[in-house]
């Protein structure tokens, strides 16, 4: 699954609409629900999430990323057993052409951990839907540089 750009009927300034697929990892269903409901299907006028895949374990994330293509991975840095920050670093180092990764950090001061994890973006808890939606839209518009 890959991002696609098509002519946009909305007349946005870029002239393209970005359709993405997202894998969401957290061991906490409340966190997964907060992300999905907060962001919705359209984090921005020109960005649409075509499909969500939810995973509650790190093993499920690794298996999913090895078998299918996602445009964006959202990983909860506060997940128990295997946190999203360590998982992000593992994926960036082990998965060829790894998708962009957005990590949910415990607090704004954890930005250095996000940098260590090689994540492409970070949003702190508590989850603010506007901030998260903006980060997702920025990554979708930017496209993958790897």
Q: pTM, whole model, 2 decimals?
A: 0.88
Q: Which of 142, 140, 98 is nearest to 119 (CA)?
A: 98
Spatial separation of the C-alpha atoms in residues 91 and 117, rounded to whole Å: 9
Tens digits of residue pLDDT in 66-112: 999 999 999 999 999 999 999 999 999 999 999 999 999 999 899 89
CATH code for the part of the protein at 4-142: 3.40.50.2300
The residues near 28 (Cβ < 8 Å, ≥ 6 apart) are 76, 78, 79
The residues near 8 (Cβ < 8 Å, ≥ 6 apart) are 14, 15, 16, 17, 46
């Amino acid at each position: 699954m890959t991002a696609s750009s098509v002519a946009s009927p909305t007349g946005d300034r870029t002239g393209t609409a970005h359709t993405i697929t997202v894998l969401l990892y957290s061991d906490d269903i409340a966190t997964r629900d907060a992300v999905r409901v907060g962001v919705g299907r359209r984090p921005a006028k020109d960005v649409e999430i075509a499909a969500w895949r939810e995973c509650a374990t790190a093993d499920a994330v690794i298996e999913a990323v090895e078998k299918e293509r996602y445009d964006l991975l959202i990983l909860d840095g506060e997940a128990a057993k295997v946190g999203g920050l360590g998982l992000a670093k593992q994926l960036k180092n082990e998965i060829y052409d790894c998708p962009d990764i957005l990590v949910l950090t415990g607090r704004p001061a954890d930005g250095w951990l996000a940098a260590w994890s090689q994540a492409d973006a970070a949003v702190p808890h508590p989850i603010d839907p506007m901030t998260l939606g903006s980060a997702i839209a920025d990554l979708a518009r930017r496209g993958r540089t790897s």
